[in-house]
Structure 1
Amino acid sequence: MLDDGAPLFTQIAERLADQIADGALAEGERVPSTNELAAYHRINPATAAKGINVLTDDGLLEKRRGIGMFVAAGARERLLAERRKRFAERYVQPLVAEAHRLGFDADELVTLIREASHTEEGIRP
C-alpha cells in the first residue's frame, strides 16, 4: 500500500515507474486506469490521475484515445538512463570525492567496492 510520507500522487507515479523500470510493465502495455488505481489504493481518482499525468508529462506513458494509457515506446530506456544519472550524482560522485580526500586511488576504490559487493546478498561482482 501507499504510506511512505510522500504525496499520494507521487507514490502512484513512482510505483508505476518502478514497474516500467523492472519490466513488469512493458512498452505498449496498458497501465491500470485511474479508477482501477483509485480502487486498489483506496484513494481519490483525481489523485491517481495526477500520478498518471506525472508519467505522461515525462513521456513515459501515452494516452490512446478511448482505450486507456499505455507505456510509451522507449520509456524503460529513458527511465533507466535518468535513474543511472541520478545514482551517479547522489552516490558515485560523493563516494569518489570522499575516497579522494582519504587518499584512495581508483584501483583501491574499485577493490573496496568489489569486496563490499561480495558481502551483499544477491549482488555479484
Structure 2
Amino acid sequence: MTTEPEHTTPAPDLTIPLSAADAQALGDDGDQLAMRLGAVLHGLAQMRAGGASTDDLAHTILMSTGLTKRLEGIRDAAVRQHAAQGGSYGALANAMGVTRATAQSRRDTLLKKDPSEMEKWATDGD
C-alpha cells in the first residue's frame, strides 16, 4: 500500500476567457462572479461524487442563488438594452430559445417594470 497522494500535480485552474479591458470594466464584480461560479461547480462535483453534506449543500444553494440572481439581472439588462436599440422580437426569440410570441411577451412584461436591483447592478456595477 502506498501513502503517495493520488494526484501529484496541482488541480488545473478554471480559466474564464476575458480581455484585459473586460476584466478591468468588471473590477471586483468579475472576481465575485468567478468565486460564486467556482463554489457552485465545487458543489456540483460534491453532489456527483456523493460526498456532499447538508452544510455543503446549503452552501451550494446559497452560492447558486446569488449567482442566479446576478445572471437574471444581466439577462434582463441585456433584454432592456436590446429593445432600446431596436432589436427585433425574432432576434430576441433566437437568443432566448423560445418562440417569437414568448419573447415578445417576456420583453413587454419586463419593459413595464422598473429595473430590478440586480439589473441596476448589471448596468452600473452598484
Q: Which has the higher strand share?
A: 1
TM range (shorter): 0.3 to 0.5
Q: Which has the higher helix share?
A: 2
Please give the TM-score of this superposition, normalised by the length of structure 2: 0.36
Please give the TM-score of this superposition, normalised by the length of structure 1: 0.36
Larger relative contact order (Cα-Cα within 8 Å, sequence gap ≥ 6): 2
